[in-house]
Protein backbone atom coordinates (compact mmCIF):
# COMPACT_ATOMS: atom_id res chain seq x y z
CA UNK A 1 0.00 0.00 0.00
CA UNK A 2 2.93 2.30 0.67
CA UNK A 3 4.19 1.83 -2.91
CA UNK A 4 0.83 3.03 -4.27
CA UNK A 5 1.01 6.10 -2.04
CA UNK A 6 4.51 6.92 -3.31
CA UNK A 7 3.40 6.50 -6.92
CA UNK A 8 0.39 8.78 -6.35
CA UNK A 9 2.57 11.44 -4.72
CA UNK A 10 4.96 11.35 -7.69
CA UNK A 11 2.05 11.55 -10.16
CA UNK A 12 0.53 14.44 -8.17
CA UNK A 13 3.86 16.28 -8.30
CA UNK A 14 4.16 15.77 -12.06
CA UNK A 15 0.58 16.95 -12.60
CA UNK A 16 1.29 20.03 -10.49
CA UNK A 17 4.30 20.93 -12.62
CA UNK A 18 2.42 20.26 -15.87
CA UNK A 19 -0.56 22.30 -14.68
CA UNK A 20 1.70 25.23 -13.84
CA UNK A 21 3.33 25.11 -17.28
CA UNK A 22 -0.02 24.83 -19.10
CA UNK A 23 -1.51 27.78 -17.21
CA UNK A 24 1.54 29.92 -17.93
CA UNK A 25 1.31 29.06 -21.66
CA UNK A 26 -2.24 30.40 -21.94
CA UNK A 27 -2.99 33.89 -23.18
CA UNK A 28 -4.65 36.49 -21.02
CA UNK A 29 -8.40 36.98 -21.19
CA UNK A 30 -8.23 40.74 -21.75
CA UNK A 31 -9.68 41.75 -25.08
CA UNK A 32 -7.54 44.87 -25.51
CA UNK A 33 -8.38 47.62 -27.98
CA UNK A 34 -9.51 45.15 -30.64
CA UNK A 35 -12.82 44.62 -28.86
CA UNK A 36 -13.76 48.28 -29.31
CA UNK A 37 -13.69 48.09 -33.10
CA UNK A 38 -15.24 44.61 -33.24
CA UNK A 39 -12.03 42.86 -34.23
CA UNK A 40 -12.53 40.26 -31.49
CA UNK A 41 -15.11 38.46 -33.66
CA UNK A 42 -12.57 36.86 -35.97
CA UNK A 43 -12.04 33.35 -37.27
CA UNK A 44 -9.83 32.47 -34.30
CA UNK A 45 -12.40 33.81 -31.87
CA UNK A 46 -15.17 31.67 -33.37
CA UNK A 47 -13.08 28.49 -33.59
CA UNK A 48 -11.29 28.80 -30.28
CA UNK A 49 -12.02 25.19 -29.31
CA UNK A 50 -10.02 23.90 -32.27
CA UNK A 51 -7.07 26.21 -31.76
CA UNK A 52 -4.03 25.74 -29.55
CA UNK A 53 -5.63 27.97 -26.91
CA UNK A 54 -8.71 25.73 -26.85
CA UNK A 55 -6.54 22.66 -26.38
CA UNK A 56 -4.69 24.34 -23.53
CA UNK A 57 -7.98 25.17 -21.81
CA UNK A 58 -9.15 21.56 -22.18
CA UNK A 59 -5.81 20.24 -20.90
CA UNK A 60 -6.08 22.59 -17.92
CA UNK A 61 -9.53 21.26 -17.05
CA UNK A 62 -8.39 17.64 -17.30
CA UNK A 63 -5.28 18.31 -15.20
CA UNK A 64 -7.32 20.08 -12.51
CA UNK A 65 -9.77 17.18 -12.27
CA UNK A 66 -6.90 14.68 -12.03
CA UNK A 67 -5.17 16.84 -9.43
CA UNK A 68 -8.29 17.06 -7.27
CA UNK A 69 -9.06 13.35 -7.52
CA UNK A 70 -5.53 12.27 -6.65
CA UNK A 71 -5.32 14.80 -3.81
CA UNK A 72 -8.62 13.50 -2.40
CA UNK A 73 -7.44 9.89 -2.65
CA UNK A 74 -4.19 10.73 -0.88
CA UNK A 75 -6.12 12.60 1.82
CA UNK A 76 -8.52 9.70 2.40
CA UNK A 77 -5.56 7.35 2.83
CA UNK A 78 -4.01 9.53 5.52
CA UNK A 79 -7.07 9.62 7.79
Residue 2 has pLDDT above 80, yes or no: yes
Cα angle 47-48-54, degrees, rounded to a multiple of 5 = 140
Task: Determine the average pLDDT of the residues in 6-13.
Answer: 96
Measured between alpha carbons, how far is residue 77 from residues 1, 4, 5, 13, 54 in Å?
10, 10, 8, 17, 35
Per residue in 50-68, pLDDT tens? Answer: 688 888 999 999 999 999 9
Contact between 25 and 56 (Cβ < 8 Å):
yes
Amino acid sequence: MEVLRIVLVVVLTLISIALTVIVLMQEGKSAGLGAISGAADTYWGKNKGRSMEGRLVMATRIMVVLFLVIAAVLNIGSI
